[in-house]
Amino acid sequence: MYNDVMPEQEFDKNLLIEASQGNLKAFDALITFYQKAIYNHMYRLVNSADEASDLTQDTFVKLFKIRDRINSEANFRSYLYKIATNTAFDWFKKKKSRKEDLIIDDENINFETIEANQSYYKLEELDRVGLDLALSKIKPKYKNLLLLYYKQGFTYEEIAHINNQPLNTIKTGIYRAKKELLENFN
């Protein structure tokens, strides 16, 4: 019943309906389907296998607690990444043991319109080792935006939903993230 042949959205919808009704096998199938992707995203954000594993587990525990409130008609994948992103940022806040501004300050931004298909930098041309090193040096909020956009393939609109931010904030953030990434690429 739970296989990779089914299109992702239909797969999510059927499992969500069953999981929200208390079917633990359906919830387990959701975890199995998304666990590797969430772990990889967490690992890229925190650069620690142990922490990524813990954060992945925390993400699915949070999902389990609210499983009955998830809208099966909505985009489950972006909702799951929203939970994962919030979980990672909570970890960053605790790790710093001080309040860190992980959200772009809306008051001091010059909102510039950046189209989704407009590329200011050719990130694809950067070598893999240098790219990983440069990613490890940029701010977590920027790393998250780049990973969601380039690695996970989310649209600007989906990233705005995941981060609870306006669309122009995300566009500006991705622009700044690319700029910071290239500044750290040596």
What is the tens place of the pLDDT at every residue in 75-87?
A: 888 889 999 999 9
How buried is residue 36: exposed, middle or buried, by Cβ count under 10 Å (0-12/13-18/19+)?
A: exposed
Residue 53 pLDDT class (50, 70, 90 cuts): very high
CB 41 within 8 A of CB 151: yes
pTM check: above 0.85: no
- 8-96 and 106-184 in the same fold: no
- Inform me whether the pLDDT recorded for 1 exceeds 60: no
Q: Which pLDDT score is estimated for 43?
A: 92
What is the tens place of the pLDDT at every residue in 100-146?
A: 443 433 343 333 333 434 343 445 555 566 677 778 888 999 999 99
Averaged pLDDT for residues 145-150: 91
- For the domain spanning 106-184, the CATH number is 1.10.10.10
Rounded Cα distance between 96 and 155, Å, is: 30
The answer for residues whose C-beta is within 8 angstroms of residue 12's C-beta and 6 or more apart is 30, 72, 76, 77
Cα angle 123-126-131, degrees, rounded to a multiple of 5: 90
- Looking only at Cα atoms, what is the longest distance across the chain? 52
Where do the structural domains in the chain lie, given as residue ranges? Answer: 8-96, 106-184
Q: Which pLDDT score is estimated for 72?
A: 75
Rounded Cα distance between 11 and 163, Å, is: 24
Q: What is the token pair recorded at 34?
A: 């998304």
Question: Is the dihedral angle over the CA atoms 60, 65, 68, 69 positive or is it negative?
Answer: negative
Q: Which pLDDT score is estimated for 97?
A: 52
Residue 96 C-alpha from the chain's centroid: 20
3-state secondary structure 87-153: HHHHHHHHHHCCCCCCCCCHHHCCCCCCCCCCCCCCHHHCCHHHHHHHHHHCCHHHHHHHHHHHHCC
Q: Which pLDDT score is estimated for 169?
A: 94
1 versus 123: the higher-pLDDT residue is: 123
Averaged pLDDT for residues 17-40: 90
Q: Which fold has domain 8-96?
A: Rna Polymerase Sigma Factor; Chain: A (1.10.1740)
Q: What is the token pair recorded at 149?
A: 């956009």
